[in-house]
């Protein structure tokens, strides 16, 4: 495990616990000698996780599409990769990262998280994916995932492969032991 990609809000959110958790996650990534990969901005939880990882000695790679370049980028990144498009940016994030963690966030975060989950169930990704469920932020989404299993749109094995915890240490410990689910995606075909 070398590089952890973090998806998270470009806003700080309404609960101080979100910023605190972004800080703790950056610290934990650095403590394990891992690098951080993320969207490259200095805003909200994104800025906080990057600051914390950098302050604690981690290498931080920001990957942003050129529309954002020079507007919101973090000033002290170890490396900044600028891509032509959003899609190229996400492909690069996937290519260079060994695991993915979603902190609280908005549509951008949901989209990034769900893309990795989608890729896992079709065997395109064999990398672990976790959700840091700070103060129950993701409870409703997780419930909805359960409903999608119950309604036979998602296999239980794929739902259960999502690593959910409130402690970054536990998520990263589980990443070390992660085994991808290798089963057919389709139900009732
Ligand atoms: P959101 O959760 O809607 O705030 O979007 C956050 C996610 O979208 C992050 O994980 C980023 O990868 C991407 N993103 C949103 N805003 C920015 C930004 N200003 N700079 C770089 N990436 C961003």
CATH number at residue 115: 3.40.50.450
Condensed to tens digits (0 to 9), the pLDDT of residues 13-33 reads 999 999 999 999 999 999 999
Residue range of the domain that includes 143? 3-175
Cβ–ligand 1 contact at 93 (below 6 Å): no
- When pLDDT is cut at 50, 70 and 90, the band that residue 69 belongs to is confident
72 Cβ closer than 6 Å to some ligand 1 atom: yes
Structural domain includes residue 18 = yes
pLDDT at position 96 over 90: yes
Q: Is the CB of 97 under 6 A from ligand 1?
A: no
Query: Mutate which of 69, 109, 110, 129 to test ligand 1's pocket (most atoms within 8 Å of Cβ)?
Result: 109
Q: CA-to-CA distance for 189 and 182, rounded, in angstroms?
A: 17
Ligand 1 atom nearest to CA at 109: 2
Question: What is the value of pTM for the model shown?
Answer: 0.96
DSSP-based three-state secondary structure for 61: strand
Whether 91 is in a domain gets the answer yes
User: Average pLDDT for residues 123-129, to the nearest whole number?
Assistant: 94
Distance CA 188, CA 129 (A): 26
Is a pLDDT exceeding 80 seen at residue 1? no
pLDDT of residue 132: 98
Q: Is the dihedral of CA 172, 174, 177, 181 positive or negative?
A: negative
The tokens describing 65, both together, are: 């599409």
pLDDT of residue 188: 87
Atom of ligand 1 nearest to the CA of 6: 10
- Mean pLDDT within 66-76: 84
Q: Counting atoms of ligand 1 from 1, which one is nearest the CA of 64?
A: 21
pLDDT band per the 50, 70, 90 thresholds, residue 183: confident
Give the number of domains in the chain.
Answer: 1
Residue 73 and residue 102 in contact, taking contact as beta carbons nearer than 8 Å: no
Give mean pLDDT, residues 75-102: 96
Residue 180 lies in a domain: no
Per-chain mean pLDDT for the chain:
95
Please determine, for residue 146, whether its predicted confidence score (pLDDT) is greater than 80.
Answer: yes
| Within-domain flag for 189 | no
């Amino acid at each position: 495990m070398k590089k952890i990609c973090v998806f998270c809000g470009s806003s700080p959110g309404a609960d101080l616990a979100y910023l605190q958790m972004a800080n703790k996650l950056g610290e934990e990534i650095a403590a394990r000698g891992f690098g951080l990969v993320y969207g490259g901005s200095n805003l909200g939880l994104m800025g906080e996780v990057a600051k914390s990882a950098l302050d604690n000695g981690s290498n931080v790679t920001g990957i942003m599409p050129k529309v954002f370049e020079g507007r919101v980028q973090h000033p002290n990144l170890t490396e900044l990769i600028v891509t032509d498009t959003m899609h190229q940016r996400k492909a690069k994030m996937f290519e260079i990262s060994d695991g993915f963690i979603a902190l609280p966030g908005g549509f951008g975060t949901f989209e990034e998280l769900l893309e990795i989950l989608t890729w896992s169930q079709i065997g395109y990704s064999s990398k672990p994916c976790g959700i840091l469920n700070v103060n129950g932020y993701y409870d409703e989404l997780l419930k909805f995932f359960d409903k999608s299993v119950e309604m036979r749109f998602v296999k239980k094995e794929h739902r259960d492969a999502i690593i959910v915890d409130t402690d970054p240490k536990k998520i990263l410990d589980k990443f070390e032991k992660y085994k991808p689910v290798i089963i057919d995606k389709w139900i009732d075909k």
